[in-house]
Amino acid sequence: MSLFTSISNVFSKRQPDQLVGISLQQESISICILPSIGLTPPNESASDSLAVFQHKKVDGLNFSQTISDFHAELAFTGKCHIVLNTQQSQIVQVDKPNVPPAEMNAALKWQIKDLVSISPDNMVVDYFNGPLLAGGKEKINVVCAPIDELKAIVAATNKESAEIAMITTVEFAFANLLPTQHDACLLVCQQPNEEIVLIIVKQGKLYFHRRLRGFRQIANKTEDELSMTVIDNLALEVQRSSDFFERQLKQAPIKEIQVLLPISKEGFLARKLAENSHIPVTLLALPDAYQQHRGHAAAIGATMHEARIAEQVKETIHVS
């Protein structure tokens, strides 16, 4: 979307009255319905009562039916942002094919067909460029998802005055929560009852992503269990990711680690992780009015794309 289109949308009478984030998890869905006054999250003076946060278990993995149930109960409208879970989307890194941009997606389907579990005939793909590896090799990150499942989700969401604006992955949804800054930040993040995801963001760009295994039940661990094995294992994965970022991608050292885990012992884990690292570790701060809704962070992050567009529009209007 061009900046001029964004400006015209701000003054349009058809401006949506809500921003909707729908985060699909392996067995449930989190939804946040945010007031889109200015398209930005409210501060403390704008009451959280204007926002709606709900979590619903998905029966038989029927995500489209659960979205329809949300429609019936909440009657949400406006721009909807869908976050696919790690089972619905797969990301692989391959050599960038030497084809025209118009032929890229078709070429990628067949290039990754043996690397993913989705059939090329049932695959929709997108991609984003990765930073140059040591040696100057150009790589590309391919994101794929099953068409049949996406069609059902889109049909269930696009009803009445609601319309899908974006379909994304947890990596990008969480990356949206980080402010744009020069130095690299490593984020340890998780959706409720999901595996942990590590991402490294620098200057607003996703430089590194890794989906871990074995941490899905971390919310059920005691402090002793966390101290004995979990935090050590997590610290090792963080160190490996930092080393890859610095050595293989030839980037400056990471300046900070931020944690966003929807568990009661989040602060304890962050403190213990800091003891295992030479890099400062803090909890990622959400917009003030949404701080208590950390379990909905991916859904909130999905809507932040609109907020950033609005900020650009505001700055342009102010300058002019």
Residue 201, Ramachandran bin (φ over 0: left; ψ between -120 and 50: alpha; else beta): beta
pTM of this prediction?
Answer: 0.86
Reported as type and span, the H/E element at residue 302 is helix 297-319
Closest CA to 266 of 303, 291, 287: 291
Whether the CB-CB separation of 124 and 150 falls below 8 Å is answered with: yes
CB 94 within 8 A of CB 115: yes
User: CATH 3.30.420.40 spans which residues of the chain?
Assistant: 179-285
CATH top class, domain 90-145 = alpha beta
- CA triple 97-249-169, angle to 5 deg: 65
Q: 64: burial class by Cβ within 10 Å (0-12, 13-18, 19+)?
A: middle
For 245, the enclosing helix (H) or strand (E) is none
How far is Cα 42 from Cα 48, in angstroms, rounded to an integer? 8
Tell me the backbone φ, ψ of residue 10, rounded to 5 degrees: -60, -40
Q: Name which of 61, 1, 29 is nearest 157 in CA terms.
A: 29
276 vs 279: CA distance, rounded Å: 9
The DSSP code for 290 is: G
What pLDDT is attached to residue 5? 36
DSSP 6-31: HHHHHH-TT--SEEEEEEE-SSEEEE
Helix (H, G, I), strand (E, B) or coil at 188: strand
Q: What is the C-alpha separation between 125 and 179, in angstroms, rounded?
A: 28
In whole angstroms, what is the distance from residue 302 CA to residue 204 CA?
14
Residue 288 pLDDT: 82
Strands ordered across the beta sheet of 52-57 = 52-57, 28-35, 18-24, 78-84, 162-169
Task: Identify the pLDDT of residue 86.
Answer: 87
Give the orientation angle of helix 231-243 with respect to helix 266-275, to 10 degrees: 60
Look at residue 287 in the predicted model and tell me its pLDDT: 83
What is the amino acid identity at position 205?
A: K
Instruction: Output the tens digit of pLDDT for each of the chain's 320 residues.
Output: 333 333 333 333 344 578 999 999 989 999 999 886 444 444 444 445 578 999 999 998 899 999 999 999 999 999 999 999 988 999 999 988 888 888 998 899 999 999 999 999 999 999 988 766 656 667 889 999 999 999 999 999 998 889 999 999 999 999 999 988 899 999 999 999 899 999 999 998 899 999 999 999 999 999 999 998 999 999 999 999 999 999 888 899 999 999 999 999 999 999 999 999 889 999 999 988 888 999 999 999 999 876 554 444 444 334 43
3-87+148-173+292-319: CATH number: 3.30.420
169, 89 contact by CB (below 8 A): yes
Give me the residue label for tokens 């050595």. Answer: 247
Return the DSSP state at 244.
I
Q: Token match 């701000």: residue? A: 10
Instruction: Determine the 3-state secondary structure of 39 from DSSP.
Output: helix
CATH 3.30.1490 segments of the chain? 90-145
Count of helices and strands (H, E) across the chain: 9, 13
β-strands 123-129, 139-146 pairing: antiparallel
The CATH architecture of the domain made up of 179-285 is: 2-Layer Sandwich (3.30)
